[in-house]
Amino acid sequence: MRKTSPPTAPAISSPITRAAFDEVMVPNYAPAAFIPVRGQGSRVWDQAGREYVDFAGGIAVNSVGHAHPQVVKALTEQANRLWHVANVLTNEPAIAFARALIEKTFAERVFFANSGAEANEAALKLARKWASDHFPAAGAEHGETDKFEIVACLNSFHGRTLFTVSVGGQAKYTQGFAPLPAGISHVPYNDIAALCAAVSDKTCCVIVEPIQGEGGVTPATREYLRAARALCDQHKALLIFDEVQCGSGRTGQLFAYMKYGVTPDILTTAKGIGGGFPLGVMLTTTAIAASFAVGAHGSTYGGNPLACAVGLAVLNIISAPETLKNVDARHRQIVAGLNELKRKYQVFTEVRGDGLLIGAELAEKWKGRGKDMVKMAEKHGLMLLIAGPDVMRIAPSLLITQDDVEQGLKRLDATVAELLAAETSAAA
């Protein structure tokens, strides 16, 4: 029903509270009870001035922590110069950032978007277009091809646009949104035989997360990614690595493909590459990029000077050897801490992941209670994540200090201890 009476909403000057969120927002999120207002490094403060250790990193986004001076400088300098021109013009930050990405990776060409989903949307469309260009169906007049099939993994996550939820391997994200794009099949992750059976000459691309993030922090095996590469070569299909979450320094190498020693044809990254500024990146080769001729794809904001100035500043920090060394050192520290909690409280069954993308599988009696743990952690001044209902996830800044990790682990210990105490008193 349309509103006919004068607006009764509180004046803009009324306090901004968590309760107000439920009055003004579409109800697709259920944010925490506190509202953060300020961040510095890996610490965050809420409206009441309470301080938190940030083990969540804005879901693997705040790769250089909050308010990093070099990034603030890059952003404010650009903000004082030029915000936006759209792609009828180009701009200096976009070219400089693309050049830096090419220097540091397999890529020869770059496409900029504003999010991970958009980077994947571009990658998937490029694969279809590439197949249409190089393998047209007999008598094709409008780009028809039989080589349109996309092979993706069960439990994968590739974003929330209709195409990317359809390619993603989690049915809960497509329910209610049918009809879905066609020509997509899903195979169990890390199952080479299933992949062999699924990939054929009709396949235009295989898309894989080198580490499944949302799906529960599960790394691919090296054999699996090698097999995917070989199958794509054999059937002339493109291999897409979705490194939206696991790329951009998170594994302790600039991109996960470097660690695995398997090079994709197209790589997408987002999250950490913008450090908190909306930014998505698709990397590929000159030959494949040729299928995105003038007019084939686009984005009003993609390659925006503000985003690219930030991206370049972030890239310079996350590709520095000291940063990547810190990722390895903090990985060891966090994994040791989690294994200690596992031993002390039997709360986890497995600690896994790579670099600063770490998951801890909840023990049987804790299954489905990841959200309770996140909530209890807030009470103890710790921001945590889950990856599905049964896996606790930690994805902090790549620059998080030894002290911050130590403090965070202490707070996690207190969190688990209180959850257990509540359990025991409830049982008594």
Please report, as ranges, the residues that interact with ligand PLP according to CB under 6 A. 115-117, 120, 157-159, 209, 213-214, 242, 244-245, 270-271
Distance in angstroms (rounded) separating the CA atoms of residues 325 and 115: 27
Instruction: Output phi, psi for 330, to 5 deg.
Output: -70, -30
Sequence-ordered list of residues with C-beta below 8 angstroms from that of 87, at least 6 positions apart, any chain:
298, 299, 300, 302, 303
Reference 291, options 149, 129, 142, 136; nearest CA is 129
Whether residue 167 contacts residue 128, with contact meaning beta carbons closer than 8 Å, is answered with: no
Shortest distance, CB of residue 100 to ligand PLP, whole angstroms?
21
Q: Which CB sits closer to ligand PLP, 44 or 167?
A: 167
Q: Dig out the tokens for 387 from the structure.
A: 């990856």
Shortest distance, CB of residue 63 to ligand PLP, whole angstroms?
13
Shortest distance, CB of residue 308 to ligand PLP, whole angstroms?
16
Maximum CA extent, the chain: 76
Q: Which CB sits closer to ligand PLP, 129 or 271?
A: 271
Shortest distance, CB of residue 323 to ligand PLP, whole angstroms?
20
Shortest distance, CB of residue 283 to ligand PLP, whole angstroms?
15
Q: Which CB sits closer to ligand PLP, 159 or 169?
A: 159
Q: Which CB sits closer to ligand PLP, 157 or 366?
A: 157
Q: How many CB atoms lie within 10 A of CB 232?
A: 22
Shortest distance, CB of residue 242 to ligand PLP, whole angstroms?
5
Pairing of strands 43-46, 238-242: unpaired
Instruction: Output phi, psi for 94, to 5 deg.
Output: -65, -45
Q: Which CB sits closer to ligand PLP, 53 or 117?
A: 117
Whether residue 144 contacts residue 153, with contact meaning beta carbons closer than 8 Å, is answered with: no
* DSSP classification of residue 178: P
Residue nearest to ligand PLP (CB): 116
Scanning the structure block, which residue is given the tokens 């801490």? 337
Shortest distance, CB of residue 256 to ligand PLP, whole angstroms?
11
Alpha carbon distances (Å) from 222 to 22, 244, 263: 45, 19, 12
Q: At what angle do helices 321-345 and 305-318 cross, to 10 degrees?
A: 70
Q: Which CB sits closer to ligand PLP, 269 or 326?
A: 269
Distance in angstroms (rounded) separating the CA atoms of residues 370 and 392: 6
Q: Which CB sits closer to ligand PLP, 65 or 213?
A: 213
